[in-house]
Structure 1
């Protein structure tokens, strides 16, 4: 499958997942299939970032969409009193951070002293912005302020999936070209999630009904099916559809709540 086909499949699965998130009474299986979506988007983003002719433009686009989505989250969460499900979705920031870390690592590969310097500055920056996010959440009386400041600052902790999913994106990027390495790296990552979720609640039913993030292993066959072709592209479909469908589902869900 080409990149466009993978994105469309991931988009459909994401839509089903968000129906389960925002619509009262939606069946749980929507979340099961939804676990497949984000890793596929990360895989497509990894190839897109590799092939792009202008990485700075790519990063700026991802950053500003993340900033816009963060603003949408704050507005929606604060204009509806006691919403059925708050909006905490902002994969743009997660993908932005994956791309930044990939770029820093690649700089280090070509210029180790320069790369080490940039990585050290990035680490210090993350400590400072984490403190800023926490302070913002305590000082500013708005729901979701920590995540919004996290979007503004590009923080590793306060983003959708936190640093765990940022690490996943980096892992996918550096193993995307070798299917055997991808199977091993991604498989171990999912196995680690399974072990963590089992440790949290060592009941077989919990792995189906509460701790089911491990089901993202279902993304692997889709990644392995990639044929290296771009397809029709439709670059801005995801950028527009992502915030639009979340806002629509958020308000529909609160009508029935």
Structure 2
């Protein structure tokens, strides 16, 4: 029989869509002080939500969830080290390289991991499962408080913890990362996942409706609902390693190019 495929978009398609939109957004980020138009930022607003959705799908189907978490942690460390090296040799005004989506994805995956342990506790009533589950959920928040205490006291050890351990309030999307475990709980109903995305988007919009097309654009994440509703549940082509390479590489390359132009 021939290769029969469902209509709609696959996980591969969602990843590629996110990568293209992310690239456009980061062009704006790196070249904003050289005149890159503000509207380029709009393309990037649905990206995090798309990757959150893909993360839920990936975590739900992976055979080894501990390995999945460790891979994201390695990505987080690699991104931080690479960005530090790039900034040793290049500068772009007062702009620091803070991008690290691996922190967001790790915190979200850790929360999903915690939910799995809480389900095991519900079924098996082992108190250790409850402890592990709650720890996975609250640790990134608690460690954020520790790092903030370091900022207040000037303790460099506590401050630098944020570069070693992913923390909620030091991630790119802060509390929005918890949209990941919410979508994980709703993973059997794509429509409800989209409702959750829409609710968060409306909350962002209501923060400053008058700046909805300038400084307050995160509400545009709502447009991620369109490709998610078209998702057909299929994995599509495999590109497990590509994102881990492309994400840091394109940010570093854009930063270096922008630095060379800015400082010429």
Q: CA deviation at 1:111?
A: 0.7
Q: Find out whether 1:116 has 2:130 as its counterpart.
A: yes
CA contact (8 A) 1:66 1:93 kept: yes
TM-aligned CA deviation for residue 49 of structure 1: 0.7
Q: Normalising by structure 1, report the TM-score.
A: 0.87
1:33 aligns with 2:43: yes
Secondary structure of the residue aligned to 1:208 is coil
Alignment partners' CA distance in 1, 2:253 and 2:140: 35
Residue matched to 2:249: 244
Q: Which runs of 5+ in 2 are unaligned?
A: 1-8
Q: Say whether the 8 Å CA contact 1:183–1:220 is kept in structure 2.
A: yes
Report the RMSD for the aligned CA atoms in angstroms.
2.3
In the alignment, which residue of structure 2 is the partner of 1:194? 205
The one of 55, 67, 72 aligned to 1:57 = 67
Asked which structure has the greater CA Rg, the reply is 2
SS of structure 2 residue aligned to 1:111: helix
Q: TM-score, normalised by structure 2?
A: 0.84
Task: Name segments (4+ residues, structure 1) moved above 4 Å.
Answer: none
Cα deviation, 1:162-202, whole Å, max 9, x if unaligned, reads 2x12112222222233133123211111111111233xxxx
> For structure 1, which runs of at least 5 residues remain unmatched after alignment?
none
Relative distance call for 1:60 and 1:165 in structure 2 (3 A) is same
Size of the alignment, in residue pairs?
246
Task: Give the alignment partner of residue 171 of structure 1, picking from 176, 182, 203.
Answer: 182
Instruction: Output aligned runs, 1:61-100, within 5 Å.
Output: 61-81=71-91, 83=93, 85-100=95-110
In the superposition, relative to structure 1, how do residues 115 and 188 fare at CA in structure 2: closer, same or farther (>3 Å)? farther
